[in-house]
Amino acid sequence: MSESPRTAENINPANTDDVFGIVRQATREEARAAVDAAAEAFRAWRNTPAPVRGKIVARAARLMEDHEEELSQLLTREEGKTLAESRGELQRSINVVDFCAGESRRMNGETIQSELPLNFAYTIKQPLGVVACVTPWNFPVAIPVWKIAPALVAGNTVVFKPASLTPGTAVRIVEVFEEAGIPPGVLNLILGSGSDAGDEIIGHPAVKAVSFTGSNSVGIRLYEQVSRRGGKVQCEMGGKNPVVVMEDADIDLAVESTAQGAFGSSGQRCTATSRAVVVNDIADEFVTRIAARAGSMRLGNGADPNTEVGPSVDKNQFKTVLQYIDIGREDGATLVCGGKQATGSALDKGYFVQPTVFDHVTPDMRIAREEIFGPVLSVLRVKNFDEAMQVANDCEYGLSSSIFSNDASRIFRFVDEIETGMIHINSPTTGGEAHIPFGGIKGTGIGDREQGSTALDFYTDLKVVYVDYTGRKREGNLY
Ligand code: NDP
């Protein structure tokens, strides 16, 4: 491979003096070579029996367990989330890999009765070929493995293009799969910028499918580009996730869960709570208490066990969050707490933003409509349940939501009417389990759901086989 002169620094967002890696950026030529290597490795991998592929993937889960603490520490240093959050992400990742390994023994089709005598049909699932996995920085272990593991189990070969901000965890994931026994060429890592190396991968005609998680602006462009040449695309994109808090809610639970959802991982989860839609009767109490909770949160380096909220991932994200806080003020929302860069000896070298709550946000304001991806909560006050539903659904995104209420009929109406792919009842908008499908609707999601019973859908083609054992020319029924 030819040498690339471009490099990027890997910087700890909690302490920018901690530059712990220099990452060489792949060229377009190297990106093409990675796709070619994956194409060459496809036939042998596809012909490896699925349970044998699954066994190798299961070994990767055991190795992740062996390296769980090291990977968690690296994740915190690279992305900034707290160690507890990193350990949680590692556990989720191990569960996903285990689940997918098990699916290798269930790549079943169905047999179907025919309307003709001495005929039947059956279906088989087959891999697609070379698949590209393009991932964001906010779950730099879990999201890659919830794409790579099902892709490999299904018999595809993979080109993995992680976010430029999290190359260290990407390298370790690939090393773990290699150590588990994935043959050369089956899983290929390209570290480089999305608009350059990433663009080359997704434009390559040998890439049959692209599984993307990231922002809407990139995802929609990528969708257009790949689908135009007939490729298959799955996009999981942004969120603006609401909690609805009714007057009969357990207010302690609603406040604590909203704080977890809004400020955990510094608001950098796709499922983060960014809107609290609260009925007037309890809005004053809710706002007072959530502001107190936000103000009490301990910010710091995620490696410190006392830290509750880590930094924004980099300078750009940090500036974006502070800009949105300015926009909230200018648009007339009431800032009730936070609203500034967090400072103090342990914070001055990192990208820390105070957990922030805006009250009296109206649905037309930008902070009610656009994804901020920081520790900022917008409170929208409403008269009643019907208005709450209208406000909660007045949004281009449809990833996750939650309701706090003890009224069963309201809860089930919420489930019926809310326009999100995932719904939580009396719990935060965040979280998910490895064996349960994950993803959004409306502007958030395009294509098959990831994880759970749907994990392999995107990574397989379905063939239908008609079997006629009459031995005679067909008569009648010629449609
Ligand atoms: P981006 O959309 O900026 O980047 C995502 C990935 O796409 C990165 O690897 C990036 O590379 C790559 N990329 C960028 N441009 C191109 C291109 N032209 N061709 C190919 N690849 C490209 O998202 P972020 O990394 O900033 O992640 C945050 C976003 O992810 C948020 O909007 C969040 O909501 C969303 N997200 C959604 C989830 C869901 O399940 N719905 C889960 C987690 C996050 P590079 O880093 O080099 O630019």
Nearest to residue 86, comparing CAs of 373, 256, 305? 305
Distance 176 CA to ligand 1 centre (A): 23
Give me the pLDDT at residue 5, please.
Answer: 66
In 3-state terms, what secondary structure has residue 86? helix
pLDDT of residue 398: 98
Neighbours of 464 (CB within 10 A): 11
Do strands 187-189 and 334-337 pair parallel, antiparallel, or not at all (unpaired)? unpaired
- Is a pLDDT exceeding 90 seen at residue 412? yes
The span from the CA of 170 to the CA of 92, in Å, is 16
Residues facing 241 on adjacent strands: 273
pLDDT computed for residue 151 by the predictor: 98
- Give me the mean pLDDT over the 151-163 stretch: 98
Whether 120 has a pLDDT exceeding 80, the answer reads yes
Residue 319 alpha carbon to ligand 1 centre in Å: 18
What pLDDT score was predicted for residue 346? 86
Rounded to the nearest angstrom, the distance between the alpha carbon of 214 and the centre of ligand 1 is 3
- The residue-averaged pLDDT of 12-33 equals 96
pLDDT of residue 4: 52
For residue 259, give the 3-state DSSP assignment.
Answer: helix
Q: How far apart are CA 383 and CA 389, in angstroms?
A: 11
C-alpha of residue 384 to centroid of ligand 1, in Å: 37
pLDDT in tens, 213-265: 999 999 999 999 999 999 999 999 999 999 999 999 999 999 999 999 999 99
What pLDDT does residue 142 have? Answer: 98
Please report, for residues 55, 286, 314, 409, 445, the alpha-carbon distance to residue 129 in angstroms, rounded to integers and kept in the order given.
20, 52, 35, 47, 23
First to last CA, the chain: 54
Residue range 446-475: mean pLDDT, rounded: 95
Minimal CA–CA distance to 223: which of 206, 239, 237?
A: 237
Q: Using the mean position of ligand 1's atoms as its centre, give its distance from the Cα of residue 135 in Å.
A: 6
Q: What pLDDT does 74 receive?
A: 98
Q: How far apart are CA 373 and CA 238, in angstroms?
A: 9
- Indicate the pLDDT class of residue 2, thresholds 50, 70 and 90: very low
Residue closest by Cα to atom 42 of ligand 1: 270
pLDDT tens per residue, range 305-343: 999 999 999 999 999 999 999 999 999 999 999 999 999
DSSP label at 196?
Answer: I
Is the separation of the CB atoms in 259 and 294 below 8 Å? yes
pLDDT at 1 over 80: no
Measured from the Cα of 137, ligand 1's closest atom is 25
Identify the three-state secondary structure at position 157.
strand
Q: Whose CA is nearest to atom 32 of ligand 1?
A: 215
Q: pLDDT-derived band of residue 406, with 50, 70 and 90 as boundaries?
A: very high
Q: Within its chain, how far is the Cα of 137 from the centroid?
A: 9
- Residues in the ligand 1 pocket, defined by CB under 6 Å: 134-139, 161-164, 193-195, 198-199, 202, 213-215, 218, 222, 236-239, 270, 371, 373, 399, 440, 444
pLDDT reported for residue 475 = 80
Q: pLDDT digit string (tens) for 336-390?
A: 999 999 999 889 999 999 999 999 999 999 999 999 999 999 999 999 999 999 9
Instruction: Catalogue the E-assigned strands of 295-342.
Output: 334-337
Q: Whose CA is nearest to atom 13 of ligand 1?
A: 194
Q: Which residue carries 């190795």 as its tokens?
A: 63
Clarify whether 337 is annotated catalytic: no
Nearest atom in ligand 1 to the alpha carbon of residue 440 is 41
Q: Ligand 1, closest atom to CA 162?
A: 9
Span from the CA of 163 to the centroid of ligand 1 (angstroms) = 7
Burial class (CB in 10 A: 0-12, 13-18, 19+), 158: buried
pLDDT for res 131? 98
443-463 burial: b if 16+ Cβ within 10 Å, else e: bbbbbbbbbbeebbbbbbeee
Q: Is 111 helix (H, G, I), strand (E, B) or coil?
A: strand
Is the pLDDT at 157 greater than 80, yes or no?
yes
Please tell me the distance from the alpha carbon of residue 277 to that of residue 403, in angstroms, as a whole number: 9
Closest CA to ligand 1's atom 34: 238
| pLDDT for residue 477 | 65
Mean pLDDT over each residue of the chain, to the nearest integer: 97
**Which atom of ligand 1 lies closest to the CA of 216?**
32
Q: Residue whose CA is closest, atom 48 of ligand 1?
A: 194
Residues 352 and 342: beta-carbon distance below 8 Å: yes
pTM of the predicted model as reported, rounded to 2 decimal places? 0.97
Under DSSP, the state recorded for 333 is P
Q: What percent of the chain has pLDDT over 90?
A: 97
Classified as helix, coil or strand, 143 is: helix
Atom index in ligand 1 nearest the CA of residue 198 equals: 20
Strands 157-161 and 187-189: parallel
Which member of 100, 133, 235, 270 is catalytic?
270
Please choose from 193, 200, 213, 401 the residue to mutate so as to test ligand 1's pocket, defined by most ligand atoms within 8 A of CB: 213
Q: State the helix-helix crossing angle for 142-153 and 167-180, rounded to 10 degrees.
A: 30
* pLDDT for residue 202 is more than 90: yes
Looking at residue 476, what is its pLDDT? 72
pLDDT beyond 90 at 283? yes
